[in-house]
Amino acid sequence: MVTLKEVAREAGVHPGTASRALNRTTQSLVAAVTVERVRAAADALGYRVDYLARSFKTRRTFSVGVLIPDINNPLFPPIVRGIEDSLAAAGYIALLGNTENEPEREKRVLDGLLGRSIDGLVLATAQRRDGKLAELARQPIPVVLVNRVAEDHGFSSASADDVAGVRAAVAHLGALGHTRIAHVAGPQSLSTGYGRFQAFISAMGHLGCETDNQLVRFAATFSITEGIRCAAELLSVDMPPTAIVAANDMLALGCYTAAEGAGLRCPDDVSIVGYNDMPFMDRLSPPLTTVRIPHYDLGARAGELLLERINHPDAPLRSTILVPQLVVRGSTGRAR
């Protein structure tokens, strides 16, 4: 491998000078002609800087970790793209870690990233009460939360306004004449699951309906299988609901399956609303009415917030809350 030393010898300067000439930030300390000479020598020899050595010395890697809970959930690719794009503009690269919602895997991946001396971390995996976050808060590494947040976390974050999103969904159903509206809630250990459930209760109040405990089921995970289980239970109570608000699209997919299994047609017999507007949700049978969250923007904002934490560690924390939008499709109709 060609080292800086060899470039320096070729250019007839000291390695320190060669280093300065080749670095954007220190280039101005060197005479223009010298810079040119070093450049030429570097090109001639095919020199490529050894980032490992540089990072070792400077303690900066220009890499940031991104922890994703479930790479199979199409919700995350746009978030990741947003993060990547805003970081790339500053010369950072995103290292993706996939936890599959498994704590053990998460620990392994996080340690793997931390051990690689990343400059920062974007977490899409926060729990409402999260020991991991408390631990990270004690370390000097900048952390930003995206999509999910935690309670009293003390990090910057980019998330969506679930109160507004759920209210729009419930109001839509109310306008269609529904009153027996059920909720397939997400995991209450996650801010999204918990926040949407609270928002549901509040939105039902707005509608003048009390939330019937019979008509709420809690999914253990944001998965199709849990959606099936919860919806099957809801549809077999004495006075079954005429509409279901699912806490996300995966759960809504499960609702579709359960409704079909119960011999019910959507939206004729039961209306279903999802949340997130994952890719392809407009392609379902029937197309899913859901709440669209600007995922790319969420990611882009998270990346910006992280850069801010890295470059200005003492700046105040920020929470960006983006506004979701109800997308009405074929899975919701007038109440029977």
Partner DNA sequence: CTGAAAGCGCTTACAG
Least distance from its own copies to the Cβ atom of residue 224, Å: 9
CB of 335 to its own copies, least distance (A): 23
For residue 327, how many C-alpha atoms fall within 13 Å in the half-sphere facing its CB?
18
Bridging pattern class, strands 216-218 and 181-185:
parallel
- 113's contact among its own copies, DNA, none, with CB below 5 to 8 A by partner kind, is its own copies
Q: Rounded CA gap, 124 and 121, in Å?
A: 10
Q: At closest approach, how far in Å is the CB of 299 from DNA?
A: 30
Q: In this structure, are residues 307 and 218 in contact, taking their beta carbons and an 8 Å threshold?
A: no
Which of its own copies, DNA, none does residue 94 bind to, with CB < 5 to 8 Å depending on kind? its own copies
Partner whose footprint covers residue 19, from DNA, its own copies, none (CB < 5 to 8 Å by kind): DNA
Q: Which does 256 bind (CB under 5 to 8 A by kind): DNA, its own copies, none?
A: its own copies
The C-alpha atoms of residue 17 and residue 33 are separated, in whole angstroms, by: 12
* CB of 31 vs DNA, minimal distance in Å: 4
User: Dihedral (C-alpha) 105, 224, 214, 275: value to the nearest 10 degrees?
Assistant: 90
- Looking at the Cβ atoms of 24 and 283, the one nearer to its own copies is 283
The bridge status of strand 290-292 relative to strand 325-327 is antiparallel
Cβ proximity to its own copies: between 285 and 319 the closer is 285
The site for DNA (CB under 7 A) is made up of: 1-5, 12-17, 19-20, 22-23, 26, 28-34, 47, 49-50, 53-54, 56-58
Report in angstroms how near the CB of residue 114 gets to its own copies at its nearest. Answer: 9
CA distance 132 to 103: 10
Q: Phi and psi of 121, rounded to 5°?
A: -145, 130
Q: In angstroms, rounded to a whole number, what is the distance separating the alpha carbons of residues 194 and 288? A: 22
The item of its own copies, DNA, none sharing an interface with residue 187, based on CB under 5 to 8 Å by kind, is: none
* Torsion-angle region of 240 (φ positive above 0: left; ψ -120 to 50: alpha; else: beta): beta
Q: Which residues bind its own copies (CB under 8 A)?
A: 48-53, 55-56, 59, 61, 63, 71-72, 74, 77-78, 80-81, 84, 88, 93-98, 100, 108-109, 112-113, 115-117, 253, 256, 279-280, 283-286
Nearest to 126 by CA among 208, 67, 167: 67
Min dist CB 89 to DNA, Å, is: 21
By a kind-dependent CB cut-off of 5 to 8 A, residue 36 interacts, out of DNA, its own copies, none, with none
